[in-house]
Structure 1
Amino acid sequence: MATPSPDTLFGLTLHGRYVLGQRVRSGPSGTVHTAHDLTVDHLVMVTVMHPESVADPGLVHAFDSRVQTLESVTHPGLARTLGHGRDGDHVYAVTEYERGESLASVLTDGDAALRYSPGTALTIVADVLAALDALHQAGIVHGGIEADHVLLDDEGRVTVTGLPLIADAAAGGEPDTSEDVHAVGRLLHTLITGVGTVPDEGPLRPSAAVDGVPSDVDMLVANATDPTPRYRPRDAAKYLTMVEQVTRSLPRVDGDGDPADTRPIPVVGAQTQDRTQARPRVGAASALTSAFRSGRAAGPASGRAPGRGSDGTPPWRRVPVLVSAAALAVVLLSVVGWAALAPDDTVEVPDVTGSAPAEAESVLRGLGVDLVVRRDEAYDDDVESGAVAATEPAAGTEVETGDQVTLVVSIGARSVEVPDVAGGTESEARTVLREAGFTDIEVVQEHSAEEAPGTVLSTKPAAGEQGDREEPVVVSVSEGVVAPSLIGTDQADAVALLDDAGLAAQIVEAPHDDVVVGEVFGQDPEPGSILPEDANVSITVSTGPEEPEVEESATEDDEEDRDTDRDENTDEERDRDRDDDDDDRDGGRGDAGASCSGEAWHPNTQYDTGDRVHYQGREYEARWWVEGAHHRPGDGGDWGPWADLGPC
């Protein structure tokens, strides 16, 4: 698809609010730009549809639908979708500003390819999968996860970007979450090996490129990169469970590194330097000058020079360049103009404690001076989660035009009661603890003569005690037999491994286009599962490529065709009868004795742009691709897929 030249949209202002800066990337959805939101004085990202896409009403509808869905999806690993609109010929969507450095950039240091230890790679991939899980629950498939679309910011947070805003569903297809799993499996392979992959490769095994990769990690990558979708984990949630299980099984070592690694790993030994954040009282112009200084986005000063520091600071901690010097000039000139016209009033910061952040922002912006309002989060024992706990500067402090006021939003008390999860499964315990605010959960096994393997016995801190949300909660689970990893072994070896572990094998045979006959390509329960002794483990063994289906006899096919023709003729006769009745009711409107020519609308037919049909005495033309069962002519009025051409 053709894309606009780099200078076409640079400096454009949409709806008098969003000043477009440098183009960051281009894709099927459109071009993505950094932008300055003049209303709230924030940096944002704006995706502008390609002009040829705007000319297609179906694509515009798909774009709007996708953005509306994304506006309801909230996850720390996704840039929040803030809104969308149309300004003349430009259809656009606005998201939060993307901070950080892409994994593709982090993994390249000059001519040297870098890689991560398996433990660190699994940690990154788990965060990616958690973000994708939020999308999958909303019925959205990313469809293009690559190292370029995963950002690591200065605090090590992972953000997934590059989500297409024109979904495959616009063409009538159903989303396939296993495609995202396949892409994450390829990403995991690259993180561990430093070697890129191509979409059709698989199954991949990192051990083929790097010595010492644990077999369970090899299994994770091979399962996700299986060429046949039905043999992969079905979605991000399923794969995330497998990743967490394997992560727990890895041996613990001092520090972040893996002793088996021999090539540079950008995160080993990385120490975050102390940072201080100054809070000067500055005007709007000087605030943005500071924000864009040295081409960097606004944020706490780190005191570090570009590049990896002598203390091992990883390259992901560098903040990316926001805009070019020309973009800087456009924004600064507009801000300086506002500063000159702004009133020189001084007001006191009001007390907005306990109110919702949006309400507090509205109060601050209604003071009659241009304040830079930002948000931060902090624990608070007295203010409920999601409400404003304090302001910086505090209530009663005098501020003037251009000053910054930070709304400190409560994330609840730091110490909360540990819920009782004993008697449930490990998965159920994780869910309940996360809902209570605990994010660091460790699982250990203990012997129990009373409880079945995999049953939660207790927690530390114990149920009912106060737990620090910054500290781990240790979940004790009844020990049992850990299911070994059998993927990639032949049937005889898999049966022997299960027998050695005290487990029984159940053989299931199935065809597979890429796995040799007799090799195991699936197992249930998954590797790492805790099972009682003598439990059954189902292993799926390849019987080779699937045999082509045998066609039914010609006699049966002919009979079915005749039945179908009779059904279609009956439907068309019903439509003609209804049309004749409608014409009678119309009292002869139109040409006397005339009938509707062409094809009658049918609910089981798919229509392309420009196709004409008649329905209930009127003629219609399809504005875009439409499936009859979903859109009846006349539905939707001027905004529907059918244009009413009048009576016939």
Structure 2
Amino acid sequence: MDTTVADPLVGRLLDGRYRVESRIARGGMAAVYLAMDIRLDRTVALKVMHRSLAEDPDFVRRFIGEAKSVASLSHPNIVHVFDQGTDGGHVYLSMEYVPGRTLRDVLRERGRLPAREALEIMIPVLAALGAAHQAGMVHRDVKPENVLLSDDGRVKVVDFGLARAIEAGRQTRTGVMIGTIAYMSPEQVTSGVADARSDVYAAGVMLFELITGRQPYDGETPMSVAYRHVHDRVPAPSSVVPGGPVQLDRLVLSATDRDPARRPADATALLVAAVETHRTLPRDAGPKPAPPNTTAPAAPVPPANPTLVQSRTEMLTSPGAAAAPAAPFEGHGARRRVRPIWFIVGLATVMVAAIAGTGWWFSEGRYTTVPDLLSINISVAKAEAEKQGFAVKIGKPENDKELGEDKVLRTDPESGREVVRGSVITLIPSAGPLKIAVPNVVNLSEADARSKISEAGLTAGAVSRVPSDTVQRGLVLRTSPQVGTRVKEGGTVQIVLSAGQLMPDVSEMQCDQAEAFLRGKGFTPTVVQQTDDAQPGTVIAQSPAARAEITAGQAVQLTCSKGPDTGFHWPWENPQDPQNVQPGQALIPIPDVRFKRVGDASRELRTAGFKVHVRKIAGSGAVVAENPLGQAPAGTRITIWH
């Protein structure tokens, strides 16, 4: 990993989404960083083009074209492109992060590789290139630096950085050489033209390097190497490392023919030949690998063989192949005799079997697709994934405004991705909408309460007003739902404001009870007596009037009846006085229900034979006053206050 610490992008949040952790590598066009996608909580590789190139509009257009083209590819041996964007002067790609090493790292460490192992690396590389070629794309820069070997054994081709659709022919004819000189095809050197066969050439050069430990050409300058690609022929690997399998010589010479028309048509055709070559190699094929950091001595390069090296794929697919014997192969002084037609038919059968067998491991058979488990119950999803052979982890639930609790919000890897069979899938369940506690806004103004509710992620709703003895007029008395109640994010909270303290209505209450009640509320009551036909000792007037706005401690005057001047007494004032008892009336005791619960008090009075009138004054659940008290005829209306 690149250990540079002075990079200004390290530690920065790019485009408000990607937190750059460290720099992985730096190339001629771009730098690659390890980053965290904080929106999806996943590690990605971030490819950021150099600022000098980002200032070139034409280059930026090609770069964006790369993102769109490669993002459309879905193949297990191609590094996936997730996103493309810009942040100021930075233009970037967000890609799948593949922990591991490049093929170049392996070559530096081990030198040349055994024949079978070299092919087992090349086969998935060719499968990836073949998928791109089928989609009309050309890589243009196939080399060991662009092949990743993951820690779990996967092979991935990266950096289709200059891939183009074949249809965009004018763009490929700019005359600009794009690629790496050591792997560049003759036509790229001479005219800048590149197609699928140019990738085939580079793949052949890379295979040569894997089995010999060196590149086919060296020179003091890049131009001298380019000259040799145009005028020389890539030597047979066995001429550099004696004892190598002749099958590999044929494969390399076919892929690196200077004439594009005589190479395999694309990477898929070369893949077929590579799989067949792998099948025919003996288990101990080829020389032993070189010690680390050493290469085999270079053998003299033989003169170019003018005879066409025809691949087996071409033999099977060329016109007339079913009716004519195979062309002889000439190379390394050896000549193969003509094979009869039955041999070609048998060879085709063997090749199909080889692709279905050996190729299975490197392509579809080894991989499967992550199922779509979104929005279903987490337990059902787990059972279904395990049924399909996946190992399942349940991740930490995440809130979602739309999806209910315990349903699959997302999976890692995401549905539709191709993964190795038996891979681990992490299911992220939904925790449902985020629920927020209603903040405490009591005693705040309406404006401050609305602001605090909004800051909490909730919505302030309608406002109502009710009297309050304890909260100043205009301030929040309470909320609905109550403070501390957990409400769905964005939910509505109703605000109840205090209408201030209002004068209680104590009319018709017995004066001593009214006076005691008002003193308990913090008022200073005074009582005046007045002749009146009302029952003696009851409140007949009050100042301030009932429900008038008042302040705590305010003086209150109660006017109480002292009865009429005629000397008339209410029948139950003095039951012992015969003149106060009407003929046929019986007086019964009135239960004293003060301080009892309203419901219980009402039942007790009705059971005793009285009518009940209930008035609200304090808003409590207990009776605070009762009138009349003592005795009264059955059916008399008794008023209670609560």
**TM-score scaled by structure 2?**
0.41
TM-score normalised over the length of structure 1 = 0.40
Q: Which has the higher contact order (CA 8 A, sep 6+)?
A: 1
Say which one has the larger Rg. Answer: 2
